[in-house]
Structures are given as structure tokens and as C-alpha cells.
Amino acid sequence: MSEPVKSVAPVRAPIYALVGNPNCGKSTLFNALTGLKQKIGNYPGVTVEKKIGTAYSQHGQPLTIIDLPGAYSLAARSPDEAVLRDVLLGRRADTPMPDRIVCIADATNLERNLYLVHQILDLGRPVILVLNMMDVAERSGLVVRAARMEKELGIPVIPCEAVNGKGLVELKLAMSRPDLPLSRHSWAIPAPIAPAVSEIAASLAENDQRAPLIARAEALLLLTDQDSVRVAGSRPLSARTVEILRSWEKRWEGQGTDWAGSLVNSRYEVISELCAHVIDRDGAKTGASASDRIDSVVTHPVWGWLVLGTIMAALFLSIFTFAQVPMDWIGERMAALADWVKRVMPAGDLRDLVTDGAIGGVGSVITFLPQILILFFFIGLLESTGYMARAAFIMDRLMSRVGLNGKSFIPLLGSYACAIPGIMATRTIEDTKDRLVTILVAPLMSCSARLPVYLLLIAALFPSTSVPIGAKVGIMISMYALGTLGAFGFAWLFKRTLLKGEPPLMIMELPPYRLPKLRDVALHMIERAWLFLKRAGTIILGISIILWFLTAYPKAPVGATGSEQIAQSFAGMAGHALEPVIKPLGFDWEIGIGLITSFAAREVFVSSMGVIFNAESSDGNTATLHDALLSAKWPDGHALFTPLVCITLMVFYVFAMQCVSTLAVVRRETNSWRWPAFQTLYMTGTAWLVCMIIYQTGRALGF
């Protein structure tokens, strides 16, 4: 293509795809272009976020923009990159093939950013190149000549500072042009590979109904991609094309031709030549950059740990202190709402369903929302500043001991507050198996909903107040340590057996530190929280109603107390039915009811015990409850909550999978009920086994 070719203006308004490397400022640009006019969903069958937004041209014409996941290459190594590749190649039935592509490249790191751009130019569709962070490049003494680049590539090249909104007008003007030139850039495919490219392209055009230009691009891609990452929802290739591909690969292997490598090399050769023309490095500052100086502290063998520890301490401190006020507020609102319903609705089962079932059940989950939001906020902050990559860099060695990489660290750490944001944060892990292992073990980290249970049982363990605080703290720490050990132990086990795979890579960019854009972080936080509520909300509501039904039916005679009602309800029956199974752990049917109702959220155990042992006090004081627990007895008269049972019960809560919200999120993140079911089985199974050993050993030793 040596002469400029004009693309024909599509009949409908063109659909734009927004593509670029991670950390190039793509989401900032997308947010700046579309404002809040965004629709966020999922690509069916894969857990990759699908974002479509609408921007308006200078004349008020709507422009549809698909924000595709950030990627370094179209040769996909992760589901994110696979979605990008498949959308651009028109392989997905659920997403229209974009007519035009806006490529964003970080002007401070142009060579590597242009690798993806170079692959995209092969697609034969109109491309607008946005050079982002021109201000940062300028400050570091780099002169990037956009005009020269435009001449070399034959496509619009727009200098931009997405953070300050500079260049947006020019970009929108270019986007609303009725015709856009196709790139007249060309590159020589290495001679030994060229015939294969033509043959595969011809087969793609003939057997896979690809347009000729796309076929060539896809052929080039297949040679470097080897289709390593296949995701649901993309159309498979025809057998004939695969056959041709394999036969070429076999031939090259025999000849010792490094086909994939030489394709990458020749792309970088073209890029280097282009960069030599358009980048002026004469004024480039030498020596350590601000980022390098920060890193010399942040990744320092001593200070690095201190920084990491301080940041994590700040995270947990803010989760447990700042979240308390809104959590109390939500609790009060929920109670007030239930009171209001009680006033306006006639007494009866329907009213109880609304107040105790729906409001009570959903309320117990909603109260965790402030913690979830703060955690999302912190994760967003760590991501947008660039610290996330450093934390992964520091922790990689430790995580590799169990076969994971450093990227699993933050999701697992976040799970100490709540497994839900932790599990949702695993999307940054590229390797599907590593991601699944992290999701499977994340709920073993003791979350904040277990805290009230631990506190109650520790109080019951030490009836007198004379016990040194150290013993209580020691037990608490042991529970957290036990969960952590369990998580790493199972990660190690799963990586060796069930989800055996290549050792994970740690080929990761350490992006320069940037000041966070609070608007983007806040937007990200709200999106995530909304996604959780939308997807998990119905399941939580459903389970809450079922749990309410189980405790409210069949009805006890009028005048029965709460504990009599629950004792003869379905939940009570289930507790009785469960007793033979949990008796080896020292638990009776009453504890069994608590274990069942804990499925709404683990801390519900506390209120269930309150109802069962008739200790519900209006001010929620646990002192009365722990007295009630201590006086609880087996039918034969020996105490129920012995110290051994308290410890065993705590250990049960460390390991058992008892959180419907988490299961709902795992279902969403893994796209099947298979994994949440497996998770419930292995976690609760482990809990039973460990508790049985502890209780029986304890009994044998005379406790």
C-alpha cells in the first residue's frame, strides 16, 4: 500500500475500538472522552470487562467507543489479551467488529508501545494514533515529532495529555472525519516466512471468510500466537487453516527456523527505524529519574519491607476504623427500615419475610459494603500510582514458593478484610490457572466477618476477666496464622495437582510512578461495588429469604419464645439432622443451626446464638450472650462450650466455606458453579477433618 487509500465511510456511525498497552493512560482517556456515558458488562463466557461508551463530536454526533483491555501484543497470553485480539479480528459474535481503531501510545516509552500499534496497522482498518503523556516526555527531554510521524505512517497522529484533557478536541475532530486514511506504512516480512503468510492468509480468506487485509494480519498473528489462549465466545479456526499452519511449523522446526522470533525482530527493526526519525533524544535527561529514585527506597532490601508494611498497615487501619462509622450507620438504617415496615405493614408472615428475611439478610451483607469500597479504593490507588507492580516485585520470591507469582499477593492480602474484593482483584493475574488457585484459596484468609465470631468464642473461652490480654491476642493471631498457612498450603497443593501448569511468568512492566487521578480511582471503586451488588445481590437476597424461611417455619404455637421457634423450625430440624455429623467435633444441633445460618455471612453466627440461647439483648451486649453460652449444656448435663469446643469451633470458622456472597462472586469470576462447589467441598471438608482431629485428640488428652 504505497499510495493513500481512503476508507469508505460506513453507513451507520462508525464504532471505535480504544486499544493500547497497560499503563499508557487508556482508561483516563476513555473516561475523559465518554464522561459517565459508559456501559460496563462482561464478555459472555470470559471474565473480561466489557466497556462501551459514547463520546460526542464537536457537532454533537455520537461516537461509540469500545474500551478494549490493555495489552502488550495481539499474540495473547491472557484472557484480556485474547479478548482484544478476538474483537479486533471480528472473531467474537457478541461484539461488532470495530470499524476504526484509536491506538494510544505512551510518548515516554514509544518503542515498546509501537509494537502493538505496528500489529494493529496490519489489520487494514483506519487507525488514529494518540501520543499520550507528551508533557511527561517533554519534561524528560524527549522531543516526539507527531507531524513527522503522521507523514511516515500516513495516519492522523495526535499529541495528547489525557490527564489534563489536552488534545481531546483534536482527537474528537479526527474521530468525526467521514473518511480516514489507511496507513501507507509497509514492512518486509522475513523471506523464509513470507510464503507461509500468503498461504495461511489465502486459507483464512477462503475457509474462514476473512477479508483479505484481515486475513494477512491474522496469518501473521497465528505465527506468533500459536493460539495459546483460547477464550469462550470466539469462533474457532477452520481445520484446513490449522493444518496449513501446523505443517509450516513442522517444516520450520526441522530447519531450525525461529519463525516467531524473526517476526518480532523484524517488527522491532521497523519500529527502531521509525523512532530514529521521530524522536529527538538530544535533550534527554540522563541519570536516575524521579521514579528510579523512589524505587531505590521502595524496593530497597530493608526500606522496601518497611514501606510495604506501612502501606498495608494503613490499609487495614482505614478498613477497620473509617469503615466503622458508615457500617454502624448502615446497620441503623437497616434497623430503622425494618421498624418502618413493621409500622406500615400488618403483622404476619409477609411482614416478617420483608423485615427478617429480606432486610435482615441483605442488611448483614450490605454492612460490609464500606469495607469493600475502601478496599477497592486502595487497590485502585495502588494500581494507578504504580505501587501494585512494586508489591508484586517484592513479594514474588515468597509467592513463588507455593507456585504463584507476586501478582497474587494483593488479592490474598485484601481477603483479610473481605474475600469479595480480593477475588475480584485477581483479574490482574494473567495466567488463568494462577488466577483460579488464588480465587480458590482467598477465602481461607480470615476475613472481618469472622472477627465477631472469634471475639465471642474467645470471650467464652476465658470466662474470667483476669486472663492476660496476651493469651486472647495470641489465640486471635493463631487463627489468622492458621488461615494463612492453610491458604498457602492449598495453593501449593493445587498448583501441583489439580491446576498443574507452567511456572508462572514474572515478565512485568514496572511503570513509572504517577500521581493518581482520584476521579478514575473513585469511578473504578463505584463500578466494582456496583458490579458486586448487581451480580451477588439477587443470590444474597434469595439465600436470605430461604434462611429466614428455614428458621420461621413450621410455626411454633403462639406465645413461643424465639429459641423455641427456632428449635422446632426447619433450621432446627436441619441442626438435629446435622448433629451426628458434627458431634465428633463436639458441636450439638444448636451450634449446627449457627453453622447453617452463617451462610448469609459468618458474623450471623453471633446473632443466631443470641436467638437460640435466648440472650438477645437490646443493646447488642455480648456479655449476656457469653454467659448464656457458658450455661449451655448437653442433654446429659455436661457443658457445651468447653474451652476445647470453643477452640475447635474457631478453627472450623477458619477453614469452612460459609459465605454465599463469596460463592456468588466466585461463580461470576469463574463462569461456572463447578468451582464454587469445589471450594465449598474442599474448605468445609478440611474444616471438618481438622476440627475432628483437634477435638478427638483434645478429648483423648483429657480436655
Partner 1 sequence: MAESEPAFVLFMAETIKLSSLTIGASAVVREYPKQGSAFLRLREMGVLPGTTVTLIRTAPLGDPLEIKVRGYNLTLRKTEAEHVMVETLNPAT
Interface residues with partner 1 (CB under 8 A) are 72-73, 75, 77, 108-109, 111-112, 115, 224, 226, 228, 258, 260-261, 264-265, 268, 272, 281, 291-292, 295-296, 299-302, 304-305, 389, 393-394, 396-398, 400, 406, 502-503, 505-512
Of 247 and 265, which CB lies nearer to partner 1 in the complex structure? 265
User: For residues 525 and 380, is the Cβ–Cβ distance under 8 A?
Assistant: yes
Q: Can you tell me the distance from the alpha carbon of 146 to that of 161, in angstroms, rounded to the nearest whole number?
A: 13
Closest distance of CB 427 from partner 1, Å: 19
Of 297 and 336, which CB lies nearer to partner 1 in the complex structure? 297
Of 156 and 512, which CB lies nearer to partner 1 in the complex structure? 512
Q: Can you tell me the distance from the alpha carbon of 124 to that of 1, in angstroms, rounded to the nearest whole number?
A: 10
Residues 6+ apart with CB under 8 A from 91: 85, 234, 235
Closest distance of CB 218 from partner 1, Å: 17
163 residue type, one letter: V
Residues 6+ apart with CB under 8 A from 241: 200, 203, 204, 207, 208, 222
Closest distance of CB 81 from partner 1, Å: 10
User: For residues 578 and 391, is the Cβ–Cβ distance under 8 A?
Assistant: no
Closest distance of CB 203 from partner 1, Å: 23
Of 392 and 425, which CB lies nearer to partner 1 in the complex structure? 392
Report which of 662, 683, 553, 554 is spatially closest to residue 600, judged by C-alpha positions: 662
Of 255 and 621, which CB lies nearer to partner 1 in the complex structure? 255
Of 304 and 676, which CB lies nearer to partner 1 in the complex structure? 304
Q: Can you tell me the distance from the alpha carbon of 439 to that of 416, in angstroms, rounded to the nearest whole number?
A: 13
Q: Can you tell me the distance from the alpha carbon of 96 to that of 82, in angstroms, rounded to the nearest whole number?
A: 16
Closest distance of CB 307 from partner 1, Å: 11
Of 292 and 328, which CB lies nearer to partner 1 in the complex structure? 292
Q: Can you tell me the distance from the alpha carbon of 616 to that of 623, in angstroms, rounded to the nearest whole number?
A: 11
User: For residues 435 and 55, is the Cβ–Cβ distance under 8 A?
Assistant: no
Closest distance of CB 342 from partner 1, Å: 58
219's grid cell: 496469518
Of 221 and 606, which CB lies nearer to partner 1 in the complex structure? 221
Of 73 and 408, which CB lies nearer to partner 1 in the complex structure? 73
Which residues on neighbouring strands pair with residue 181, listed in sequence order? Answer: 6
Closest distance of CB 5 from partner 1, Å: 28
| Integer Rg of the chain from CA | 30
Of 9 and 313, which CB lies nearer to partner 1 in the complex structure? 313
Closest distance of CB 379 from partner 1, Å: 20
Q: What is the 3-state secondary structure (H, E, C) of 358-427?
A: HHHHHHHHHCCHHHHHHHHHHHHHHHHHCHHHHHHHHHHHHHHCCCCCHHHHHHHHHCCCCHHHHHHHHH
Q: Can you tell me the distance from the alpha carbon of 428 to that of 415, in angstroms, rounded to the nearest whole number?
A: 15
Q: Can you tell me the distance from the alpha carbon of 245 to that of 233, in angstroms, rounded to the nearest whole number?
A: 22
Using the 8-state DSSP alphabet, how is residue 279 labeled? Answer: E
333's grid cell: 438504617
Of 505 and 623, which CB lies nearer to partner 1 in the complex structure? 505
Closest distance of CB 316 from partner 1, Å: 21
Closest distance of CB 84 from partner 1, Å: 14
Across 135-288, the runs of DSSP E, i.e. the strands, are 143-144, 157-159, 279-280
